[in-house]
Chain A
Amino acid sequence: MGTLVLSNVARSFGDVVAVRDVSFTVPPGTTFGLLGPNGAGKTTTMRMILGILIPDRGVVSWDGAAVTLPVRRRFGYLPEERGLYGKLKVRDQISYFGRLHGVPAPEDTRRADAWIERLGLGEYANRRCGELSKGNQQKVQIACAALHEPELLVLDEPFSGLDPVNAETLHSALRTLRDAGTTLILSSHQMWQIEDLCESFCVIADGTVRASGTLTELRAAWPTRIVEVEPVAAPLRSVLEAMPGARRLPDADRPTLAYEIPADADTAALLRRLVAAGDVTRFERVDPSLRDIYLRAIGAAA
C-alpha cells in the first residue's frame, strides 16, 4: 500500500485551463472525497492520477515514486462515462479487465464469479452487457475496476444515475473494499452520497483546491457556527442580536431563532445570558455540514 501525493499539478487543453494548481495527499487505506462543481477539474485530476493525462506541471507520486505503467496496473478506475463492450458477456467482460490488470486465468473467472455473486448479477452473468440496465452496467463496471484487488481505486461520480437500491449495493461494495484496505478516491457533487464513506475531502473549484482535510478539520476551520434557540421570544432575540458578529438566518420551517455566530464565540456564556433573559426550551449549537463547507468553498454559499 502506498501514499498518493499530488504536488502542484496543473493541466491545460489549448487555451482552457482545466487544473491550475492542485495538491493533496491520500494516506494508504483511506477513503478520499474529491468534491467540486461541474468543470472544476475533478476528472482531469483523476486522469492525471491514473496516468491517462500527463500534467503540464507538478508531480503525481505513489509510494514516493512516479506513477509508471506497472504501478497503474495496480490501480482501478471507474470513469464517469461508463465504458463497456456492449456485445461482450458480463462474465467475459469482468474477466477481460481483470486479465488486463494482471489477474491470471483461471483466477480471473473465479474472482469474476465472486463479484457477480456479491453484486447480485448472477442471472445476467451470460448476458451481453449492452442488454443490461444502466444500474446493472454500473455494477459490472465496478467489478471490472475492482477485480484485480487494486491498491488504489479511483471512482468518478460512482453514484451518478443509480436508484437507491443500486446505490446502496454500490455503497456496500465500496465499504467492503475500504475495509479490505483499498485506498479509495471518489468524486461527487452529491455530498450525502459520499459523506459517510470518506474520511477526508478536497474541494476543488476552478482548477484549484479551495478546502481540504477531514470533516473535523474542515469544521474546525469553518469561521462561524449556528445556534438555534426556542422559543421565539423578544428577550432571547435581544440577547442574540447583542452578540458581536451574530447574524440572523432566514426563518426555518418551525419557530426557531437561528443565528450565525463566530466560531470562537463563547457559546456557554451565551447560553447563560439567554437563560438569564428568559425561559429557554431549546438551545443547540449546529456544526456546519459538508454541504455548507462545500458551498462556501466554491463561493456559492448564500
Chain B
Amino acid sequence: MNTIGIVFTAEFMRRIRSRAFLAGTLIGAAGILVLTLLPAILGGMTSSSSKNVVLVGDPALTAQAKKALAGDFEVASMLPRLDQAPTAAFLDAHGKAVAVAVLTTHPGLRVTVYARDPSQFRESFGRDLATVQIGLALGVPAARVEASSKVPVDVHDVSGRFADAAAADAAKGVAYFFVILLYLSILLNAQSIMTSVAEEKTNRIAELLVATLDPSRLLAAKILASAATSFIQLGVWVATGIVGGRAVTGLLAHGAAATSGAPSPLGTIDVSSGEILAFLAFFAIGFTQYGVLYAAAASLINRTEDLGSVAGPLVIPVIIGFFLAMVAMNAPNDPRIVACSLIPLISPFVMFTRIAVSSVPVWQLVLSLALNVGSAALLAWASGKIYRVGLLLYGRPPSLKQVIATLRA
C-alpha cells in the first residue's frame, strides 16, 4: 500500500471510530428524523382546538363568514352579540377557542378580534373574509364571489423538466434538504480536518510525517479520509430522512390524523440520478476547496486554542453560499444568481440549487465545473505550499507578507 493509502486508512479508521463522529452522525440523524416528523406534529397541533374561533354578529353574516373561514379555522360557536369584551375564561368556555371575532357591517364588513395571540389573526381573517366584503359591496352572496374569484392556473415548465408546479415545488424541498446537508457537511468536516492538522502540528507528529512522506500527499490523504467519512455520514442522514419521512407519511396516510396532518415533504422525496450526481460532484469540489483552505489555515497556528481565529474568516463564504442558495431557489435564472453559480467556493451551493430547481444550460454547468475544478486545483497547490511550510513553523504566527513569500517560493 502506498503512503496515501496508509495515511488514508489510518485517518479514516481514527475518524470513524471517534466518539465525535458517532455522536455527530447519530445526533444529525435524530435531527433529520425530527425535521421529517415536524410537519406532522405541527399539523396535529393546528388541527385541534388551536383553530377554534367564536364568531359574533348577525347570523346571516356569521354564516357567510363561517364558510369563508373554513379553510383556516373551525367555528366553535356563533353568537348574535357580546355583552362585554371577552376574557380568556370566555374563550375557554367556548371550546377553548383562540379568538372571538365580532363582525359588523357599517359601512362595510369590519372585524374586531379578541385573541389569545393577537399577532396571528389580522392577515388570515382579512384574506379569508375578503369575499364576504366584496359580496356585501356588490350585493351578491359571498359564495358567488368566491366561485368567480377562482382562476384556474395551469403552469408548464418550458424546459419540460417538471410536469407541473407541484413537482417544481417538490424539487425546491429536495434542493433545500441537500443544500442544508452540503452546508453542514462542509462546515463540520472542514473543521474536523482543521482540528486534525492542528493536533498533528501541536503534537509535533507533523515533523515525523513530513520526514517520511510528501506533505501534499499527506494533505490529500487527510482530505480523502475526511470526505469518505463525510459521505458515510451523509448516507446515514439521507437514508434517515427518506426512510423516516416515508414511514411518517405512510402512518399519516393510514391513521386518523391523515386528514389533518400535513405529509412530510421528505416522505415524497423523489431525487433523480442527475441530482445525486450533481450533488456528489459539487460536494466533492466544495469539500476539496474548503478542506485544503482549512488545512492550510490550521497549519499556521501554534495552539489549538487559536483555531477559532483562523476558522472565522473561512466560514464567511460558506454562509454566503448557503444564503445565496436560498435566494437561488426562487430566482434560479436571475443573472446575478447565474453569475454567483460560477464563483468558486460559493457555486457548490448555488449551482447545485439551480440544478435542482431549474434547467441549467449545459455551457453554464460545464463552465462552473471547469472554474471550480481549476480553482480547487489552485487552492490545493497554494494550500499545499502553505501547509508544508506552516507545519514546521513554530513561535510567532507568520505575517501575511511571509505567507505570500511562501506561495511565491
Interface residue ranges, A against B (CB under 8 Å): 14, 47, 50-53, 69, 72-73, 75, 77, 79, 81-88, 96-97, 99-101, 144
Q: Give chain A residues whose Cβ lies under 8 Å from the Cβ of B10.
A: 96
CA distance A84 to B204 in the complex (A): 8
Give A84 to B206 CA distance when docked, in angstroms.
10
B1 at the interface (CB under 8 A from A): yes
> Is A83 within 8 A of B392, CB to CB?
no
Q: How far is the CB of B299 from the nearest CB of chain A, in Å?
A: 14
With A73-B212, A100-B6, A101-B212 as known contacts, state yes or no: A85 contacts B392, CB within 8 Å: no
The 9 A-B residue pairs with the shortest CB-CB distance in the complex, in nearest-first order = A83-B204, A83-B205, A81-B204, A50-B211, A77-B211, A83-B208, A99-B6, A79-B207, A100-B212
**Interface residues as binary, B196-208 with A (CB distance below 8 Å gives 1, 0 otherwise):** 0000100111111
Assess the B204–A100 pair: CB atoms within 8 A.
Answer: no
Flag if B203 contacts A100 (CB, 8 Å): no
CB of B403, distance to nearest CB on chain A (Å): 13
On whether the beta carbons of B205 and A100 are closer than 8 Å, the reply is no
Shortest B222–chain A CB gap in Å is: 13
Nearest opposing residue in chain A for B214, CB measure: A69
Other CB < 8 Å A-B pairs besides A84-B205, A87-B18, A100-B3, 13 of them?
Answer: A14-B402, A51-B211, A69-B213, A69-B214, A72-B212, A73-B213, A77-B207, A79-B204, A82-B204, A83-B206, A84-B203, A85-B14, A97-B208
Residues of A within 8 A of B3 (CB): 100
Say whether B7 contacts A52, CB under 8 Å.
no
Residues of A close to B211: CB separation below 8 A: 50-52, 72, 75, 77
Query: Knowing A79-B208, A88-B14, A100-B6 touch, does A52 contact B392 (C-beta < 8 A)?
Result: yes
**At the interface, yes or no: B210 with Cβ under 8 Å from chain A?**
yes
Question: Are A144 and B208 neighbours in the complex by a CB distance under 8 Å?
Answer: yes
Contacts of B207 in A (CB 8 A): 47, 52, 77, 79, 81, 83
Cβ distance A213 to chain B, nearest Cβ, rounded Å: 28
Consensus secondary structure, chain A interface: loop
Kindly name the residue among B203, B205, B212, B214 whose own CB sees the greatest number of chain A CB atoms within 10 A: B212
Task: Give Cα distance in the complex from A204 to B94, angstroms.
Answer: 95
Contact B208 A53 (CB under 8 A): no
Q: Which residues of B contact A101 (CB under 8 A)?
A: 212
State the CA gap A96–B6 with chains docked (Å).
Answer: 8
Shortest Cβ gap from B17 to chain A (Å): 9
Q: In whole Å, how far is A149's beta carbon from the nearest beta carbon of chain B?
A: 15
A81 contacts across to B, CB distance below 8 A:
204, 207
Most buried by A among B3, B207, B208, B211: B211
In the bound complex, residues from chain B placing their C-beta under 8 Å from that of A14 are: 402
Please report the C-alpha to C-alpha distance between residue A81 and residue B204 in the assembled complex, in whole angstroms: 6
A145 to chain B: closest residue by CB? B208
Are B214 and A83 in contact, CB atoms less than 8 angstroms apart?
Answer: no
CB contacts between A and B, total, < 8 Å: 56
Tell whether, in the assembled complex, residue B205 and residue A87 are in contact, meaning their CB atoms are under 8 Å apart.
no
Tell me, rounded to whole Å, the shortest Cβ–Cβ distance linking A267 to chain B. Answer: 49
Q: Give Cα A37–Cα B67 distance, bound, in whole angstroms.
A: 94
Bound-state CA distance A276–B296 (Å) is 78
B209 touches A100 (CB 8 A): yes
A86 to B14, CA, bound (A): 12
Question: What is the bound-complex CA distance between A76 and B207, given in angstroms?
Answer: 12
- Docked CA distance A82–B212 (Å): 16
> Is B14 a contact of A87 with CB atoms below 8 Å?
yes
Question: CB distance B205 to A77 under 8 Å?
Answer: no
Chain A residues whose C-beta falls within 8 Å of the C-beta of B203 in the assembled complex: 83-86
The chain A residue sitting closest to B394, CB to CB, is A81
Chain A residues whose C-beta falls within 8 Å of the C-beta of B214 in the assembled complex? 69
A270 to B149 alpha-carbon distance, docked (Å): 130
A100 and B213 contacting across the interface, CB-CB below 8 Å: yes
* A183 CB → nearest B CB, Å: 16
The interface residues of chain B lying within 8 Å CB-to-CB of A73 are 212-213
Using Cβ atoms and an 8 Å threshold, which residues of chain B touch A72? 211-212
- The chain B residue with its CB closest to the CB of A101 is B212
Nearest opposing residue in chain B for A88, CB measure? B14
15 residue pairs bridging A and B, Cβ less than 8 Å apart: A50-B211, A52-B210, A52-B211, A77-B208, A77-B211, A79-B207, A82-B204, A83-B207, A83-B208, A84-B203, A85-B203, A87-B14, A100-B3, A100-B209, A144-B208
Interface pair A53/B392, CB less than 8 Å apart: yes
Measured CA separation A75–B209 after assembly (Å)? 12
Taking a contact as CB atoms closer than 8 A, the residue among A53, A85, A97, A99 that contacts B1 in the complex is: A99
How far in angstroms is the closest Cβ of chain A from B395? 9
Q: In the complex, which residues of chain A have a beta carbon less than 8 angstroms from the beta carbon of B210?
A: 52
A9 to chain B, nearest CB (A): 17
Contact flag A85-B205 (CB < 8 Å), given A52-B392, A100-B6: yes
Minimal beta-carbon separation of B14 from chain A (angstroms): 7
Residue among B7, B205, B210 facing the most chain A CB atoms (10 A cut-off): B205
CA distance A47 to B389 in the complex (A): 13
Residue of A nearest to B7 (CB): A100
Residue of A whose beta carbon sits closest to that of B217: A69
CA A51 to CA B213, docked complex, whole Å: 10
* Interchain CA distance A52-B210 in the complex, whole Å: 6
With a cutoff of 8 Å between Cβ atoms, the chain A residues found around residue B18 in the complex are 87
* Cβ-closest chain A residue relative to B18: A87
Smallest CB separation, A115 vs chain B (Å): 16
Kindly list chain B residues whose C-beta atoms are within 8 Å of the C-beta of A83: 200, 203-208
A85 to B204, CA, bound (A): 10
CB distance from A39 to the nearest CB of B (A): 13
What chain A residues lie within 8 Å of B1 (beta carbons)? Answer: 99
Expressed in whole angstroms, the Cα–Cα distance for A208 and B76 within the complex equals: 96
Task: Give complex CA distance A23, B327 in Å.
Answer: 65
